[in-house]
Structure 1
Amino acid sequence: MDIVIVSAVIASLFLVIGAAEPLAARLRLPFTVILAVLGILIGSGAIFFLRTDLTDALNPVAEAILGLPISSNVFLYVFLPTLLFQATLGMNLRRMLDDWVPIMVLAVVAVVVATLSVGYALSWASTLPLVACLLIGAIVSTTDPSAVVSIFRSISAPRRLSRIIEGESLLNDAAAIALFGLFMGFVMMGVPDPRLGEALGQFPILIAGGALTGWLAAQVAVWIMAMFRAHELAMISVSVALPYLAYIGSEQVVGASGVIAVVAAGLTLNLTGPGRLPPQAWANLGEVWDLLAHWAGALIFILAALLIPRLLEGVRLSDFVLLGVVILAALAARAVVLFGLLPLLTLMRVSPHVERPYRTAILWGGLRGAVTLALALAVTESIWVPGEVKRLVGILATGFTLFTLLVQGTTLRAVIGWLGLDQLSPIDEAMSRQVIAVSLQTVREDVARTTEDYALTHDVVRAEAKAFGERLEQAVKAAEDSDDILDRDRITLGLIALAGFERYTILARVRERTISARMAEQTLLDADRLIEGARAGGRNGYQRAARRSVAYGPGFRVAGLLHRRFGLSRPLVRMTADRFELLLSQRLTLRDLDAFIEGRIRRIHGRRVADLLLELLARRIEMVETALDGLRLQYPGYAEELERRFIRRTALRLEEREYAAMREDGLIGAEVFTTLMQDLATRRAQAEHRPPLDIAVQRLELIRQFPLFSDLDDKTLRQLSRALKTRYVNAGNIALHKNRPVRSVYFIASGAVEVESAGQTWRLGRGEMFGQIAILMKKARRAEARAIAPTTLLVLDVARFRALLNRSAALRDAVRASAEKRGLDPNQILASADP
């Protein structure tokens, strides 16, 4: 075929893609539905002009359209890796972990249930062998969420709903294509009735092999990209190669799932890329992939739609009965999972609750698209598949796709409206009225100042002021009509607004590079949890999310166990250093929120709500400071190193701003500005490196570093090392209870504890001790000690402690100082230690 004609056809398809988006917005239909309709019209038109005698002038164009080299491999090896990879790069993975159960249920369980449901229903209603019916079930079980997600975003549906559907779409393609590969192999080998357990048993092998291949490919790619960090285009080029090499390597070399390999590669780059690549390069990489995915998604849809008229050739009346069976079985399988399995998992406290309207929208939003057509095309191309199987696969897969696009897709917006998902809640309605009233008050003040500054004509100002005043009166009246909002709801709305402003502040700090790219994702994740926590649970939900943002998660416990038992300290070092930086970033952000409460929330919701929010903010700041104190006491000096690093980054940002201002004012030329910015980039790269953190705890070396034992000889130190016992206490757990018998003295090897006694509170860190006063006074403990960081304690029994106290002057001085801090007589306490 002439390359000129092919190029002209492809360029024309891009024109169609460009026109489809505004047309979809005007008709209020999903973009993919418009593309499918246009593709069908183009394909049908080409066939019509070739077979009619009306004109021969358009025959070359029609032949070029129908002769485009469109095969299943084009979809699977060219377009699919692009779509999957971009989807993983744009996902908030840590936020999706909160809903991993419903996502996995929809992405894996629902695919298997739909495959079996459609397969056995078709086997009962047709003469096809079971394996061919299961193959059709696997083909139609993969969903294309682009239409429903675009509608959800256009109506500002809850983020959680879009997140569940996006997570499902990412993984269900992998599950469906893996099942397709299994059953396609059985069909090609002529196995009529495969052992289902054996077939599904190969499923984990395909997934594990693909995941490992994708992870390794991404690790190598990130290493290369980090080497090219000074060359942005080179990094983007490596990222473009990554999904294709991962897909081909997994499919052709390893024999595993290429889709899983691409997903694993994208997830790995998503998690590691922001911390190892320059922030601006990472942002530009994401923009490039957004554009590539837009083109790939549109092309795959319109090219697949071009094939629909050919796939439907030879359709019979009896085929519509089988199509009805496929539609009913697929919808029933999805409904069983959404309305049966998910609520059951919620009752078992395994899955978070997904509201019924959302489940209904997910059910009707399960549109099929280009992947289904591509898999059907792969079957029709195979010479090893029987002719009748190829015909029915093409017709049923195409017919089911058309049903979901033309019936479900065109009615989806109406269904969402019927469910009430496109309407603001009464609280949000009242909130919007309050915001409008306050905003118009501010605008009126600013307009008044503007008219004075520019000395505008009095008559013009008076006429405009009258019109604006009428609108303001209406807004104020509407706001007054909503004064019946409960204080509880006002608090909820205030917390949502506060968390939203916190998120905005974080983004601003990231752009200024005050908060590092490594911490950007985690801080934004915490802000999103605050928003959703406040929306779902009000004040209690906000406080739970706030506590979670400073808590030690299960990952810390696993990392601590690896460090203590196996000496693998790297995970604990990385997580501890991340926690240091995260807490410093949180403290930086929280300091800016009180002005927002005073300036905005007080005007919208009143003094009572503002004062309560200030109190909650003060508690959050106190929690962050407590967590930071625990780390400072555990690792003295490291927080100061991070704060110095923050100051250096801030200075570099201010320096960059000054250079840019001088360049705009013409004080320096382009050559000088470029040189200055290159030097600045070098120093910024150096400032981004975190100082090393040493968490190694060797008992004897640690004891030598204790100031309490500084005057002991080596023999005594070795005896003491053997006598001390180790105890680990997780953050938040009590290390020493009140009113318990006296048995031991505790020395802090690492970590920090907060001691409370007689209404006083003080914090102790590495190298300090507690419990000694109760032992020497021979009384029950009146103090309670709680770990505020993962803490390692060295425990010494009473007899050995008394013997050690008589031999160490430094230890006696420490006991004396401790007694004085508590307002006790140190001489009396030390006298009780004498034999």
Structure 2
Amino acid sequence: MRVSPAVDGPYRVAILWGGLRGAVTLALALAVTESVSVPGEIKRVVGILATGFTLFTLIVQGATLRTVIGWLGLDRLSPMDQALSRQVVAVALQTVREDVARTSENYELSRDIVRSEAKRFGKRLDKAVKTAEESVDILERDRVTLGLVALAGHERDTILARMRERTISARMADQVLSDADRLIEGAQSQGRRGYQLAARRSVAYGRAFRAAVWLHSRLHLSGPLARMTADRFEFLLSQRLILRDLNVFIHGRIRRIHGRQVADVLHDLLSRRIEAVETALEGLRLQYPGYADQLERRFIRRTALRLEEREYTTMLEDGLIGSEVFTDLMKALGDRRAAAEQRPRLLIAPQRAELVGQFPLFADLDEAALKRLGGALRTRYANAGEVIIRKTSVVKSVFFIASGAVELQSAGQSWRLGGGEMFGQMAILMQKPRRAEARAIAPSTLLTLDEERFRQLLDGSEALRKAVRASAEKRGIDPGTLLSDDPEDV
């Protein structure tokens, strides 16, 4: 695995020729000549060789480096950059012509002068457009790569602007900037594929998160998981905010330079990123329903404070308020901002014994039944993306979601379930096999119950029977094929 992009041959030659190593040579030579254990004749030879080598690097290599760079062609744009430059000139001149026309109209300049200058400018524009159209040096895949690099660069600039506005917290700054840098590096080194790999990595659950899940599930240490889950919530909300602004850049800038086809490709890639972020965020919302609402409220408060600060600054610049009043206003604003910066605490779901009693499905069971059920249930942990039920598998258990989120897919339809809901019951209760797949879309804690005990539980719980009917109706299945009003008929 490369730790840096590959260096082209001409650049390697230039680096080798321009690597003036005289200072290093002299330092090593001095280490030899100052040693008492080295014979004097050897010291003299080393000193002469070091001096000669240093003079050669300074006089020969240093004086000819510019010539070598020119000979290698490194002082000129590549054919692709030259073609891009011609196209950028054409797009820029088109924009300039529109702006000049508006300016001339606003200031009511002489029509003869405007017409004369417009004709002169039009000739230059026509020439630039013709030159750009005749250029065939940029392949379509190269245009996509250039567009992705520009898009990732604009994303980084947008992040920095959001940080200055304090829309993105300092806590998230390093992570979102690091992801933007990986997008740029991926697009530069591998084009579309590198960009997509970097994009997928930004929303994936890493090893550290899996380790935090293991600590929580095995050792009951919930601190690391709570902190990392809260960070992920905030990161996904920040990323969604940034990504939705990028379509304007694609349509307004990249499309004019690289054409409609490249812009459509970039729109498609960006749409996939937005969908991945929305899916990851939806998984967390299902897992912790109220926490995303708290973070969004915090975002609105911080945005309001930023706009309030802008109004005070504008009033100061316009002379409507003095510096003393401005200082007092900003002090009060700073206090409110410090309160708004505090991130709400995320509470991780309790353990199995407590979870069983919190399921609405088991609301009508007495304490003894809940205790027996708690002993019968088995805990299973699933990472995001893990397939829990495959379409080809025979389902022998019902799954209750203690925490996390699961996506079901069947007959071209999909449903997302969160904490307190169940799945797998349709495959057990239907008269015919049901080809469905269940996949975790967030790290999930599942409680499983085998078929026999599930049927026994169904006989004694009206709340569970109602939940099964509601689930069947939601998926377009006739509840009569699953249950009857008489539990003995199940």
TM exceeding 0.5: yes
Does residue 123 of structure 2 align to residue 473 of structure 1? Answer: no
Shift of 1:669: 0.3
| Whole-angstrom CA distance in 1 between matches of 2:71 and 2:214 | 52
Between Structure 1 and Structure 2, how many residues are aligned?
A: 485
Does residue 340 of structure 2 align to residue 690 of structure 1? Answer: no
Percent identity of equivalent pairs? 71
Equivalent of residue 433 in structure 2, options 764, 770, 780: 780
Aligned to 1:594: 247
| Whole-angstrom CA distance in 1 between matches of 2:402 and 2:23 | 60
Equivalent of residue 226 in structure 2, options 549, 553, 573: 573
| Whole-angstrom CA distance in 1 between matches of 2:30 and 2:324 | 57
Shift of 1:810: 2.0
Equivalent of residue 204 in structure 2, options 545, 548, 551: 551
Matches within 5 A, 1:694-705: 694-705=347-358
Aligned to 2:386: 733
Shift of 1:655: 0.3
| Whole-angstrom CA distance in 1 between matches of 2:487 and 2:9 | 69
| Whole-angstrom CA distance in 2 between matches of 1:644 and 1:370 | 59
**Structure 1 residues 817 and 372: CA distance shift in structure 2, 3 A:** farther
| Whole-angstrom CA distance in 1 between matches of 2:150 and 2:324 | 45
Aligned to 2:274: 621
**Structure 1 residues 759 and 458: CA distance shift in structure 2, 3 A:** closer
**Structure 1 residues 453 and 820: CA distance shift in structure 2, 3 A:** same
Q: What stretches of structure 2 of length at least 5 have no aligned partner?
A: none
Equivalent of residue 499 in structure 1, options 129, 143, 152: 152
**Structure 1 residues 378 and 809: CA distance shift in structure 2, 3 A:** farther
Render the CA deviation track for 1:250-286: whole Å, top value 9, x for unaligned.
Answer: xxxxxxxxxxxxxxxxxxxxxxxxxxxxxxxxxxxxx
| Whole-angstrom CA distance in 1 between matches of 2:218 and 2:98 | 66
Aligned to 1:535: 188
Matches within 5 A, 1:100-115: 100=3
Does residue 369 of structure 2 align to residue 716 of structure 1? Answer: yes
Q: Which amino acid aligns with 1:444?
A: R
Aligned to 1:642: 295
Contact 2:240/2:277 (8 A) holds in 1: yes
Shift of 1:399: 7.3
Task: Classify the secondary structure of the residue corresponding to 1:754.
Answer: strand
**Larger deviation, residues 789-798 vs 395-404:** 395-404
TM-score, normalization: structure 2?
0.88
Contact 1:700/1:721 (8 A) holds in 2: yes
Render the CA deviation track for 1:270-303: whole Å, top value 9, x for unaligned.
Answer: xxxxxxxxxxxxxxxxxxxxxxxxxxxxxxxxxx
Task: Classify the secondary structure of the residue corresponding to 2:446.
Answer: strand
Equivalent of residue 412 in structure 2, options 759, 767, 778: 759
| Whole-angstrom CA distance in 2 between matches of 1:791 and 1:380 | 68
Contact 1:751/1:790 (8 A) holds in 2: yes
If each structure's strand is expressed as a fraction of its own residues, which one has the higher value? 2
Aligned to 1:519: 172
Task: Classify the secondary structure of the residue corresponding to 1:424.
Answer: coil
Does residue 458 of structure 2 align to residue 811 of structure 1? Answer: no
Shift of 1:398: 7.8
Render the CA deviation track for 1:323-376: whole Å, top value 9, x for unaligned.
Answer: xxxxxxxxxxxxxxxxxxxxxxxxxxxxxx555455545545655587887898
| Whole-angstrom CA distance in 1 between matches of 2:55 and 2:137 | 49
Q: Which amino acid aligns with 1:762?
A: W
Shift of 1:666: 0.8
**Structure 1 residues 816 and 587: CA distance shift in structure 2, 3 A:** same
Render the CA deviation track for 1:148-195: whole Å, top value 9, x for unaligned.
Answer: xxxxxxxxxxxx5xxxxxxxxxxxxxxxxxxxxxxxxxxxxxxxxxxx
| Whole-angstrom CA distance in 1 between matches of 2:105 and 2:127 | 26
Equivalent of residue 707 in structure 1, options 347, 360, 378: 360
| Whole-angstrom CA distance in 2 between matches of 1:794 and 1:713 | 19
Q: Which amino acid aligns with 2:292?
A: A
Contact 2:79/2:137 (8 A) holds in 1: no
If each structure's helix is expressed as a fraction of its own residues, which one has the higher value? 1
Task: Classify the secondary structure of the residue corresponding to 1:751.
Answer: strand
Shift of 1:767: 1.7
**Structure 1 residues 550 and 407: CA distance shift in structure 2, 3 A:** farther
Q: Which amino acid aligns with 1:818?
A: S
Task: Classify the secondary structure of the residue corresponding to 2:483.
Answer: helix
**Structure 1 residues 695 and 372: CA distance shift in structure 2, 3 A:** farther
Task: Classify the secondary structure of the residue corresponding to 2:124.
Answer: helix
Shift of 1:660: 0.5
Contact 1:771/1:781 (8 A) holds in 2: no
Q: Which amino acid aligns with 1:824?
A: I
Matches within 5 A, 1:18-29: none
RMSD of aligned Cα (Å) = 3.1
Shift of 1:441: 0.7
Render the CA deviation track for 1:681-719: whole Å, top value 9, x for unaligned.
Answer: 222222222111122541111222221222223332232
Contact 1:368/1:405 (8 A) holds in 2: no
Render the CA deviation track for 1:633-690: whole Å, top value 9, x for unaligned.
Answer: 1111111111111111110110010000100111110001011112212222222221
Contact 2:143/2:258 (8 A) holds in 1: yes
Shift of 1:772: 0.7
Does residue 84 of structure 2 align to residue 431 of structure 1? Answer: yes
Render the CA deviation track for 1:516-561: whole Å, top value 9, x for unaligned.
Answer: 2222232223223333333333333332222222222222222222
**Structure 1 residues 482 and 663: CA distance shift in structure 2, 3 A:** same
Shift of 1:514: 1.1
Contact 2:32/2:43 (8 A) holds in 1: no
Render the CA deviation track for 1:40-85: whole Å, top value 9, x for unaligned.
Answer: xxxxxxxxxxxxxxxxxxxxxxxxxxxxxxxxxxxxxxxxxxxxxx
Contact 1:569/1:696 (8 A) holds in 2: no
Render the CA deviation track for 1:374-417: whole Å, top value 9, x for unaligned.
Answer: 89889989xxx527589959958787677666655555555555
Contact 1:735/1:786 (8 A) holds in 2: yes
Q: Which amino acid aligns with 2:423?
A: F
Equivalent of residue 36 in structure 2, options 386, 394, 399: 386
**Structure 1 residues 578 and 422: CA distance shift in structure 2, 3 A:** farther
Contact 1:747/1:793 (8 A) holds in 2: yes
Aligned to 2:396: 743
Aligned to 1:562: 215
**Structure 1 residues 828 and 466: CA distance shift in structure 2, 3 A:** closer
| Whole-angstrom CA distance in 2 between matches of 1:534 and 1:712 | 57
Does residue 174 of structure 2 align to residue 508 of structure 1? Answer: no
Q: Which amino acid aligns with 1:386?
A: V
Contact 2:380/2:445 (8 A) holds in 1: yes
Q: Which amino acid aligns with 1:737?
A: R
Task: Classify the secondary structure of the residue corresponding to 1:784.
Answer: strand
Shift of 1:778: 5.2
Q: What stretches of structure 1 of length at least 5 have no aligned partner?
A: 1-97, 103-159, 161-352
**Larger deviation, residues 433-442 vs 727-736:** 727-736
| Whole-angstrom CA distance in 2 between matches of 1:608 and 1:659 | 45
| Whole-angstrom CA distance in 1 between matches of 2:241 and 2:429 | 44
Task: Classify the secondary structure of the residue corresponding to 1:830.
Answer: coil
Task: Classify the secondary structure of the residue corresponding to 1:789.
Answer: strand
| Whole-angstrom CA distance in 2 between matches of 1:564 and 1:404 | 63
Equivalent of residue 796 in structure 1, options 437, 440, 449: 449
Render the CA deviation track for 1:182-212: whole Å, top value 9, x for unaligned.
Answer: xxxxxxxxxxxxxxxxxxxxxxxxxxxxxxx
| Whole-angstrom CA distance in 1 between matches of 2:454 and 2:351 | 21
| Whole-angstrom CA distance in 2 between matches of 1:694 and 1:547 | 27
Equivalent of residue 309 in structure 2, options 633, 641, 656: 656
Render the CA deviation track for 1:121-171: whole Å, top value 9, x for unaligned.
Answer: xxxxxxxxxxxxxxxxxxxxxxxxxxxxxxxxxxxxxxx5xxxxxxxxxxx
Aligned to 1:488: 141
